[in-house]
Amino acid sequence: MKTGPRYKIAKRLGASVFEKAQTQKFAIAQERTAKNKRRGRGPSGYGKQLLEKQKVRITYGVTERQFSNYVRKAMAAHGASPVERLHGALELRLDNVAYRIGLAPTRRAARQLTSHGHLTVNGRRTTIPSREMHPGDRLAVREGSKSRMLFHDFEDRFMEHPLPSWLSWNPKTMEGSVQETPTMESADPAGDLTVVISFYSR
């Protein structure tokens, strides 16, 4: 997915949209920009909703069409709030699960890792980053990929990476599973999803 100049986008939507923008240098620049913005008028209600929607969409690296489909399905689903459904659908994308485990330093890198066929789901190789995972699904690094430089010293890096409670992973065998559907408590949302739902409900 093409996003345009990342730092420019991060300045508009916040550092959280791109992991590489989360540096002290960027934070100082953001603080300077915020001071200048206080002198002018802030965005309208619609503008705030639009920015929040863009923030969440770009954080997960999905296109506008994909994102609107996620929202539409979340709003049409029964048995759970649209916010919870949207959050779960985004978090259970295969590329996001790989990122949460720590197989890649960023979601963008996790998408590339997946599209190059380095992962298997339930024993089958997959190249679809958007594939929806479910509780009980098994994820593993493909046997032929374990010796790649991508996973060099992974076990050491994994020990420094906080694993979410809804996932399990064995760094020695390079396999694990989705234990349960992520909640707002077990996986911090990328933004205010209530505002995002309101944007599409207009």
3-state secondary structure 122-156: CCEEECCCCCECCCCCEEEECHHHCCCHHHCCHHH
Predicted confidence pLDDT, tens digits, the chain (202 residues): 555 565 556 555 565 665 655 566 655 655 665 555 555 556 678 889 999 999 999 999 999 999 999 999 999 988 789 999 999 999 999 999 999 999 999 999 999 999 999 999 999 999 999 999 999 999 999 999 999 998 988 988 888 888 999 999 999 999 999 999 999 999 998 999 999 999 999 8
Q: Judging by DSSP bridges, how do beta strands 138-141 and 167-170 pair with one another?
A: unpaired
Specify the pLDDT at position 44.
77
Nearest to 56, CA basis, from 24, 86, 94: 86
Specify the pLDDT at position 39.
56
Specify the pLDDT at position 57.
95
Q: Judging by DSSP bridges, how do beta strands 175-178 and 167-170 pair with one another?
A: antiparallel
Specify the pLDDT at position 11.
57
Nearest to 141, CA basis, from 124, 125, 163, 118: 118
Residue boundaries of the structural domains of the chain: 6-78, 93-178
Cα distance between residue 120 and residue 115, in whole Å: 11
| Assessment of whether the complete model's pTM goes beyond 0.85 | no
Residue 19: φ, ψ to 5° = -60, -35
Radius of gyration for the alpha carbons in the chain, expressed in angstroms and rounded: 18
Cβ distance 166 to 146 under 8 Å?
Answer: no
Specify the pLDDT at position 79.
79
CATH 3.40.50.300 fits 93-178, yes or no: no
The four Cα atoms 67, 69, 74, 77 give a dihedral, to 10 degrees, of -170
Specify the pLDDT at position 37.
55
Specify the pLDDT at position 157.
85
Specify the pLDDT at position 80.
81
The continuous run of DSSP H or E covering 169 comes out as strand 167-170
